Structures are given as structure tokens and as C-alpha cells.
Amino acid sequence: MTRIWLALAGAAVLAMWSAPASAHHGAAAYDPAHVVTVKGAVTDFQFINPHVLVYFEAKTDQGAADPWQGELTSPNRLGRVGWTKRTLKPGDSITVTGMAAKNGKHSLWIQTIIGPDGEPLPTASDTGD
């Protein structure tokens, strides 16, 4: 009977330990074969875990609003290359290049981002992380 309880306790500990690892998906929702570049104005910037989010509005060829979302790595990794919660502000003009969402929504995993001053902003991949 003790062996059964020990086995169950061990299985429970293993399940709790492995759950966070299996829950992380990274860029799995994005298509590495479909890279797009979009210019727009920042509407919201969320320097939050688990991934930093950049919301921006591009314009269609007809001039209509075309909302997009871009996803970056964690704030911790971006903080190591100089980002803060004030790096981007609503209204900032940006150019974003990244992998498009597999589901066809206007969402992308940001690979490069040109800031409002026309200069590239560093990403965590720039450090070799």
C-alpha cells in the first residue's frame, strides 16, 4: 500500500513539474514560411509576461484602419537589451517584420521592429539569447 502512495505522490510531483514546460508554446502559432512586413502606428504596448505585445494600426490601400498585433519574447529578455514599458507609445510609427499567424489573423511573431526614430530596436535574439 505504501508503494502505491509513493508512486502516486511521485507522479503528482512529476506532473506539477512538467506542466509549465509543456504549456509554453513560443512561436508555434506562427508560420516561419510566411514572413510579412507591416507599417503602422502603435495603439497599445503591453510590456507583460509571458510575451510583450504590440498593437498597431496599419492602413489598407483604401485608407481604412487595419488593426494588427505583434508578439515578442518576455519582458525580462527584452529588458536585457534596453526595452522598458515606455519603449513604445501610442501614436509611434513603426515598421514590423515577422512570421504571420497560421490562422490568418492579423497577428505576427516579431522578428525585427523599426522604431519611431527609424532605427531598429534590439530584440533578445540580438544578444544570442
Q: Supply the CATH number for residue 63's domain.
A: 2.40.50.140
Which pLDDT value is given to residue 98? 96
Query: Does some domain include residue 20?
Result: no
Residue 11: CB atoms within 10 A of its CB come to 10
Whole-structure pTM value? 0.76
SS (H, E, C) the chain: CHHHHHHHHHHHHHHHHHHHHHHCCCCCCEEEEEEEEEEEEEEEEECCCCCCEEEEEEECCCCCEEEEEEECCCHHHHHCCCCCCCCCCCCCEEEEEEEEECCCCCEEEEEEEECCCCCECCCHHHHCC
Query: Does some domain include residue 24?
Result: no
Lowest average pLDDT, out of 23-27, 53-57, 105-109, 125-129, goes to 125-129
User: What is the number of domains present in the chain?
Assistant: 1
Query: Does some domain include residue 16?
Result: no
Tell me the residue range of the domain where 72 lies: 30-127
Q: Which residue has the higher pLDDT, 82 or 19?
A: 82
pLDDT tens, 65-105?
A: 999 999 999 999 999 999 999 999 999 999 999 999 999 99
How many residues are present in the chain? 129
Query: Does some domain include residue 3?
Result: no
Query: Does some domain include residue 7?
Result: no
Query: Does some domain include residue 17?
Result: no
Query: Does some domain include residue 21?
Result: no
